[in-house]
Amino acid sequence: MAHTDAAHAAHGHDAHGHHPTPMEYVKIGGILTAITIWEVWAYYIPSLVASKIFIPMLLILSAVKFAIVVMFYMHLKYDHKLFRALFTGPLLIAMGTVMGLLFLFGKVAIRLAGQG
Amino acid sequence: MSTATITADAGHGHAHGAGGVTHVEHQPHHTSLGLDNRKIAIWAFIGSECMLFISLISTYLIYKGKSVVGPYPHEKWTDPNSGETFNAILNIPVTSASTFVLLMSSLAMVLAHSAVVNRHAPKTTTLEKIFGSSKLWLLVTILFGVTFLGFQAYEFTSFVHEGLTIKTNLFGSSFFTLTGFHGAHVTVGVLWLCTLLAMDMKRGLQPEDALIVDLSALYWHFVDVVWIAIFTLIYLIP
């Protein structure tokens, strides 16, 4: 790619990082589309929706899509570690908060109270 | 113009001379970290936005299944007073299409950024010329963004016609707040991209402008990843 090391440094990119080519971006877009089709297909299979693996499967697929966009389209895989910290730090705090709130007020709390 | 003013302007890629705007070599902002302040700022902003959207998603999940009256997202509901039956309100095929559109807008955005970065790279094949057109990809991103907003306007309108407003029940309140905030972010993103397209049409975005395209691209991709979470948690998980 025509990106110079100086330009990488100015933007905070790792000078040794290899940015995907346009065709690689298109392939990544194809993977994201395939995962989305998989998610929607699963939604229309009643036996799968009723099974215990449905929700974990959707959460994993969603997390994979999230990670792909963040790493490759947002270039976090190639960027300076400070940017990773600025993103993943608040994200982890937020994930901890949502888990805490669901345990306190959500269905998880109701289930635990029912057992008690 | 004083020397100090020219130096300050040079950080933005051009200096204002007596006869108009004169482009000078873009210089990155020098910081103790060696990173551009604007990029640090956008990542910090995105981090804070993560917390905003997680709080809205948490609210939705906490109130999920606690609405006293319908319509409900995934189940039918019959009003005991009027006897009127309401179908499950979420329209998965339409939302799947809008999700696909937003994913493809992210692809178009990253291709626009790549085109600006590689502006001076030789383009011999038709495919290289297509991939090298930042105007085309910015326009495609904007059109996809507007299409997504159109899908959302259609969804909101149909919900209201089916009896679900922001005041109807807990589902309506948390759903419209969450997706409304997301739609507002998409709208801001579309306006931001329109300014970039206008700049590209006027003077042509150069590799020196890659950072300003990168900033808008980061925002746009963030809006996309938020929708990835919303689509699974709100629409697909019953």
Q: Could you tell me the two tokens for B188?
A: 């801001």
Distances in Å between the Cα of B50 and the Cα atoms of A28, A95, B219 are 23, 9, 11
Task: Express each pLDDT in B174-191 by its tens digit.
Answer: 999 999 999 999 999 999
Confidence of residue B163 (pLDDT cuts 50, 70, 90): confident
Paired strand residues for B22: B15
What residues of chain B lie within 8 A of the CB of A35, using their CB?
A: none
Task: For residue B67, give the DSSP letter.
Answer: -
Q: Please give the radius of gyration of chain A, using alpha carbons only, rounded to the nearest integer.
A: 19
Residue of chain B with shortest Cα separation from A98: B58
Percent of residues, chain B, with pLDDT higher than 70 = 87
Provide the total of helices (H) and of strands (E) in chain A, helices listed first. Answer: 6, 0
Residue of chain B with shortest Cα separation from A109: B62
CA pair distance B68, B13, nearest whole angstrom: 58
The pLDDT value recorded for residue B12 is: 41
Amino acid code (one letter) for A80: H
Give the closest-approach CA distance of B199 to chain A in angstroms.
20
Between chains, do A70 and B225 touch, taking CB under 8 Å as contact?
yes
Confidence of residue A3 (pLDDT cuts 50, 70, 90): very low
What residues of chain A lie within 8 A of the CB of B28, using their CB?
A: 9-11
Task: Express each pLDDT in B17-52 by its tens digit.
Answer: 444 444 444 555 567 777 888 999 999 999 999 999
Predicted TM-score (pTM) of the model is: 0.84
Between chains, do A87 and B50 touch, taking CB under 8 Å as contact?
yes
Confidence of residue B64 (pLDDT cuts 50, 70, 90): confident
Between chains, do A74 and B229 touch, taking CB under 8 Å as contact?
no
- Tell me the residues of chain A between 66 and 85 that have a Cβ less than 8 Å away from chain B: 66, 69-70, 72-75, 80, 82-83
Q: Where are the alpha helices (DSSP H) in B90-169?
A: 92-117, 126-131, 134-161
In 3D space, the residue among A80, A8, A81 whose CA is nearest the CA of residue B211 turns out to be A8
